[in-house]
Amino acid sequence: MVRLLRTKQYSAFTLVEMMLVLFTISVLLMTTLWSRSFMNVQMINEEHEIKQFITRLNYFKSKAIASQRSIALVFTNNSNVIQVVEEKGSKYKFKVPHGKITNIARINTLNFNREGNINRFGSLTIAMNKATYKIILHIEKGRIRYVKI
């Protein structure tokens, strides 16, 4: 007589079930990592736009020095438009990219004189998509810096 070997029946995952679980975990990991990197890119983009805005202000300062004429920048609360008035009458506007000026402290009009100095110190608060930045204008040499609030 032949004796049959008894084997125990183990309940386990099949290959298809294991592949499905691994696929689900990998999709969840990829979406989590992608959203974090997207948020970092957006914050870097906002800081780039603030630096570009400060560069534009420095451009007006150097233009005042080069042309030996004063340039006035007029800021408006809750607006993204800044008016530029040159000494000989040229007037034009530019916009704050993807943001607006929410608070103006001590400077509604910023004047760059012929030496590039500004008439008053103060600050602007600019609200971007995700963050708020304060741009601080120093008196004398017209130094400009920003702080994330």
With CA atoms as reference, report the closest residue to 112 among 68, 53, 81, 49. 68
Report how far apart, in Å, the C-alpha atoms of 73 and of each of 30, 38, 44, 68 are.
Answer: 47, 35, 27, 16
Instruction: Give me the residues paired with residue 79 across strands.
Output: 101
pTM of this prediction exceeds 0.75: no
- List of domains in the chain: 16-148 (3.55.40.10)
In angstroms, rounded to a whole number, what is the distance separating the alpha carbons of residues 75 and 101? 8
Q: Going residue by residue through the chain, which has 149 residues, state the pLDDT in tens, using 9 for 90 and above.
A: 677 766 666 666 788 889 999 999 999 988 887 766 666 777 788 889 999 999 999 999 999 999 999 999 999 999 999 999 998 888 999 998 888 999 999 888 989 888 888 888 899 999 988 889 999 998 866 688 999 98
